[in-house]
């Protein structure tokens, strides 16, 4: 008789542990809402319609490996901020490389020759 009850109790405990373990792994897999590794605080305008503000918010909301590159803001040198982002890449390194390419393409598009160079501000 005791084995029957012991077996039922063991099965119940094991199933409870599996449920808790499964719920913990599903939340650990997502990077959504995480700002990741910040190398420097990105300068964002207060305008929510600004392309760089939109790109940074999309970066934070992304659930996979992502990166945000921008030109560092300096009041003396530059009066503009250029940026680029890559969302949900296969790895953090790939996301950083593609975010840098995006930022550099923006600099080329607007024919920017002075000011700060593109740098990775944050990645996850």
The pLDDT value given to residue 76 = 56
| DSSP assigned state of 47 | -
Cα(83)–Cα(54) distance, rounded to whole angstroms?
10
CA–centroid distance for 101 within its chain:
17
The pLDDT value given to residue 116 = 76
The pLDDT value given to residue 99 = 98
Check if the beta carbon of residue 86 is closer than 8 Å to that of residue 61.
no
User: Tens of pLDDT along the chain (124 residues)?
Assistant: 556 555 565 555 545 444 444 444 444 468 999 999 999 988 888 889 999 999 999 999 999 999 999 988 766 555 678 999 999 999 999 999 999 999 999 999 988 887 678 999 999 9
DSSP element (H, E) containing 14: helix 2-28
What's the predicted TM-score (pTM) here? 0.73
Check if the beta carbon of residue 72 is closer than 8 Å to that of residue 124.
no
């Amino acid at each position: 008789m005791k084995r029957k009850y012991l077996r039922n109790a063991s099965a119940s405990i094991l199933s409870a542990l599996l449920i808790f373990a499964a719920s913990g792994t599903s939340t650990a897999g997502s990077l959504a809402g995480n700002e990741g590794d910040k190398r420097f605080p990105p300068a964002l305008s207060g305008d929510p319609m600004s392309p760089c503000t939109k790109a940074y918010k999309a970066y934070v909301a992304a659930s996979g490996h992502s990166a945000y590159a921008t030109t560092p803001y300096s009041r003396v040198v530059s009066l503009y901020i250029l940026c680029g982002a890559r969302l949900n890449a296969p790895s953090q390194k790939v996301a950083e490389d593609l975010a840098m390419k995006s930022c550099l393409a923006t600099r080329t598009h607007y024919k920017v020759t002075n000011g700060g160079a593109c740098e990775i501000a944050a990645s996850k």
